[in-house]
Amino acid sequence: MNNELLEVKELTTSFRIEDDYYAAVDHVNLKVKKNEVLAIVGESGSGKSAFAFSLMGLHNKAKIEGQILYKGQDIANLPPSQMNKLRGKEIAMIFQDPLSALNPLMIIGEQIEEILTLHQPKLSSKEKKDKVIHLLDQVGIARPEQLYKQYPHELSGGMRQRVVIAIAIANKPELLIADEPTTALDVTIQLQILELIRELKHEINAGIILITHDLGVVAEMADRVAVMYAGEIVEIADIVTLMTNAKHPYTRSLLNSIPTITEEKSKLHVIQGIVPSLKNLPRQGCRFKARIPWISESAHEENPQMHEIAPGHFVRCTCYQHFHFPDQAEEE
Ligand SMILES: Nc1ncnc2c1ncn2[C@@H]1O[C@H](COP(=O)(O)OP(=O)(O)OP(=O)(O)O)[C@@H](O)[C@H]1O
């Protein structure tokens, strides 16, 4: 197989609420290649984390349907013993909150050694320590020997996230999933961590799935972007196309809600409403319809499909052809 690393087919992740299952990830299809950053973007509640956790096999009680083909092998619903061998080695994740991802009672060096021991049991103590020092250096920690002996609470948020990244890349994963890796950090530190992930992309030669609600982060980091709304992918395109020629009303609304210094505040288009809760989600028709009520009913497909409108550029539903912001006339 070429350089395709991951192919997700019709992935559906459903949670049990009272007596029924409700899909938080609904028939998602996408691919990730080696050396590629695929960003998944959407508001809170759109299903991004549920998707990431499905790839990592971290859902305890959810029902997972469809296929997660990692290097051709379906890893959806893999027995825990087999998933444990992949997780932390071939597939690794950087979590949102570095403090909760680290063990408060263990020094940093031991925490990184632990993940090395798990997947490379034959390493000697000296080899392990050398690798840890090298990893800490690789993630930009100035005095790795000193940090080796420190506890998580002794570090700043940015340092902790560097350690979490060191743990994620310790076993040279081929697929790295970063779930809002900078959300919990100060703005200046966010930039440093993004820069680090960008540098590592070349060094570790991995495919990266970057989950974020922040289109600024997407613009900086992504090669391709999948926009997620209410559990579905509504648009996929390469980064340049997405930033300059987005079509789906949701993508356009997200892009329009980014303030620019040249735009007057009164002209900002802020999307009204929120992503509906799982139980209240309309499962028939266009899921974004309720948030663009000024667009006529007939613009929407009854059963919205993904349309390939240019090579590699997919848009769900036909409503994009008739979409305009409330204060503008229809474009076509
Ligand atoms: N364990 C669970 N049980 C029931 N519902 C859940 C569970 N986990 C997530 N959900 C619901 O699934 C939907 C998608 O949640 P998810 O956390 O994946 O969204 P998200 O896009 O990652 O948002 P955020 O950026 O806030 O993390 C939400 O409606 C959420 O309430």
| Residue ID of nearest Cα to ligand 1 atom 10 | 24
Q: How close is the Cα of 251 to the center of ligand 1, in Å?
A: 20
Domain ranges of the chain: 4-222, 247-322
Instruction: Report the atom number in ligand 1 closest to the C-alpha of 53.
Output: 18
Reduced DSSP (H G I as helix, E B as strand, rest coil) percent helix, strand, coil of the chain, to 5: 35, 25, 40
Q: What is the pLDDT of residue 106?
A: 96
Q: Where are the alpha helices (DSSP H) in the chain?
A: 48-56, 80-86, 98-101, 108-119, 125-138, 144-148, 157-169, 187-204, 215-221, 239-245, 249-256
CA 25 / ligand 1 centre spacing (Å): 9
Q: What is the pTM of this model?
A: 0.92
Which residues have CB under 8 Å from 247's CB, separation 6+? Answer: 235, 309, 313, 315, 320
**Short-list 6, 67, 68, CA closest to 38:** 6
Which residue puts its alpha carbon closest to atom 17 of ligand 1? 49
| pLDDT given for residue 275 in this prediction | 82
Supply 186's token pair: 């100060």
SS3 196: helix
Long-range contacts of 234-237 (CB under 8 A, 24+ apart): 234/288, 234/315, 234/316, 234/317, 235/313, 235/314, 235/315, 235/316, 236/30, 236/306, 236/312, 236/313, 236/314, 237/312, 237/313, 237/314
Q: Kindly report the length of the chain.
A: 332
Nearest CA to ligand 1 atom 12: 24
List CB contacts of 59: < 8 A, sequence separation 6 or more.
Answer: 13, 50, 53
The pLDDT value given to residue 265: 46
How many angstroms does the Cα of residue 49 sit away from the middle of ligand 1?
7
Q: Whose CA is nearest to atom 9 of ligand 1?
A: 50
CA 25, CA 13: separation in Å to the nearest integer? Answer: 5
Spatial separation of the C-alpha atoms in residues 48 and 282, rounded to whole Å: 18
Kindly give the number of the ligand 1 atom that is closest to the alpha carbon of 278.
29
Interface ipTM: 0.95
Residue nearest to atom 26 of ligand 1 (CA): 44
Q: Is residue 242 within 8 Å of residue 235, measured between CB atoms?
A: yes
Question: Is residue 14 within 6 Å of ligand 1 at its C-beta?
Answer: no
Is the CB of 277 inside a 6 Å radius of any atom of ligand 1? Answer: yes
Q: d(Cα 317, Cα 233) in Å, to the nearest integer?
A: 11
**Residue whose CB lies within 8 A of the most ligand 1 atoms, among 13, 16, 44, for a mutation test:** 44
| Per-residue model confidence as pLDDT tens for the chain (332 residues) | 467 899 999 999 999 998 899 999 999 999 999 999 999 999 989 999 999 999 999 998 899 999 999 999 999 989 999 999 999 899 999 988 888 889 999 999 999 999 999 999 999 999 999 999 999 999 999 999 999 999 999 999 899 999 999 999 999 899 999 999 988 788 888 888 888 888 888 888 899 999 998 888 898 899 999 999 999 999 999 999 999 999 999 999 999 877 665 555 444 455 677 888 898 888 889 999 999 999 999 999 999 999 999 999 999 999 999 999 987 766 55
**pLDDT of the residue at 190:** 85
Buried-state track 32-56, b at ≥16 Cβ within 10 A, e below 16: bebebbbbbbbbebbbbbbbbbbbb
- For residue 254, the model assigns a pLDDT of 92
pLDDT at residue 186, rounded to an integer: 83
Q: Are 168 and 92 in contact (CB under 8 A)?
A: yes
Q: Packing angle between helix 187-204 and helix 157-169, nearest 10 degrees?
A: 20
Three-point CA angle 51, 55, 61, nearest 5°: 75
With a 6 Å cutoff on the Cβ, whether 247 touches ligand 1 is no
Q: Is the CB of 158 under 6 A from ligand 1?
A: no
Which ligand 1 atom lies nearest to the CA of residue 45? 19
Type and span of the H or E element at 105: none
- Name 67's bridge partners: 9
Q: Map 261-290 to HEC letters.
A: CCCCHHHCCCCCCCCCCCCCCCCCCCCCHH
Q: Are strands 63-70 and 175-179 parallel, antiparallel or unpaired?
A: unpaired
Q: Which pLDDT belongs to residue 2?
A: 62
Q: Which amino acid is at 12?
A: T
Q: How far is the CA of 42 from the centre of ligand 1 (A)?
A: 12
Q: Distance between CA atoms of 289 and 295, rounded to whole angstroms?
A: 8
State residue 263's pLDDT score.
Answer: 55
From ligand 1's centre to the CA of 220, what distance in Å?
Answer: 26
The alpha carbon of 11 and the centre of ligand 1 are apart by a number of angstroms equal to: 15
Does residue 24 have its Cβ closer than 6 Å to ligand 1?
yes
How far is it, in rounded angstroms, from Cα 183 to Cα 190?
A: 8
The CATH code for residues 4-222 is 3.40.50.300
Which distant-in-sequence residues (6+ apart) come within 8 Å of 189 by Cβ?
156, 157, 158, 161, 182
